[in-house]
Amino acid sequence: MTKLIIILLSAVFINNYVLSRFLGICPFLGVSKKLNAATGMSLAVIFVMMLATAATWPIQMYLLNPNNLGYLQTIVFILVIAALVQLVEIVLKRYIPSLHKSLGVYLPLITTNCAVLGVTILNIDEGYTFVEAMVNSLGSGLGFFLAMVMFSGVRSKLEGADIPKAFQGLPITLVAASITSLSFMGFGGVIENLFA
Partner 1 sequence: MNEILTAVIPVVIIGVICGAMLVIASKLMAVKEDERLPKIRECLPGANCGACGFAGCDGYAKALCENEGTATNLCVPGGDNVSRQLSELLGVEFADVVEKVAVIHCAGDCEHTKDKVDYIGMNSCAAAKLVFGGKGSCAYGCLGLGDCAKACPEGAICLKNGIAHIDTRRCIGCGVCTRTCPNHLISLVDDVERVVVTCSNKDKGAVTRKVCSNGCIGCKKCEKVCPNGAIKVIDNLAVIDYSKCSDCESFGICAENCTTGCIMHSDLTGALKLADSNG
Determine, following the binding rule CB under 8 A, whether residue 164 of this chain makes contact with partner 1.
no
- Spatial CA neighbour of 24 closest among 171, 140, 133: 140
Question: Which of 83, 182 has the CB closer to partner 1?
Answer: 83
**Count of H-run helices and E-run strands, the chain:** 10, 0
Angle between helices 35-58 and 114-125 (to 10 degrees): 40
Determine, following the binding rule CB under 8 A, whether residue 185 of this chain makes contact with partner 1.
no
Amino acid letter for position 63: L
**Least distance between partner 1 and beta carbon 86 (Å):** 6
Q: Compose the 53-92 pattern: x for residues touching partner 1 by CB under 8 A, - for all others.
A: ----------xx--x-x-xx--xx--xx-xx--xx--xx-
Determine, following the binding rule CB under 8 A, whether residue 160 of this chain makes contact with partner 1.
yes
Please give the helix or strand (H or E) that residue 194 lies within, else none. helix 190-194
Distances in whole angstroms, Cα of residue 89 to Cα of each of 68, 78, 86, 149: 33, 17, 5, 24
Amino acid letter for position 140: S
Q: Compose the 107-146 pattern: x for residues touching partner 1 by CB under 8 A, - for all others.
A: ----------------------------------------
**Least distance between partner 1 and beta carbon 176 (Å):** 18
**Least distance between partner 1 and beta carbon 54 (Å):** 16
**Least distance between partner 1 and beta carbon 90 (Å):** 5
- Spatial CA neighbour of 18 closest among 137, 129, 135, 146: 146
3-state class (DSSP) for residue 122? helix
Query: What residues line the site for partner 1 (CB under 8 A)?
Result: 63-64, 67, 69, 71-72, 75-76, 79-80, 82-83, 86-87, 90-91, 93-95, 97, 160
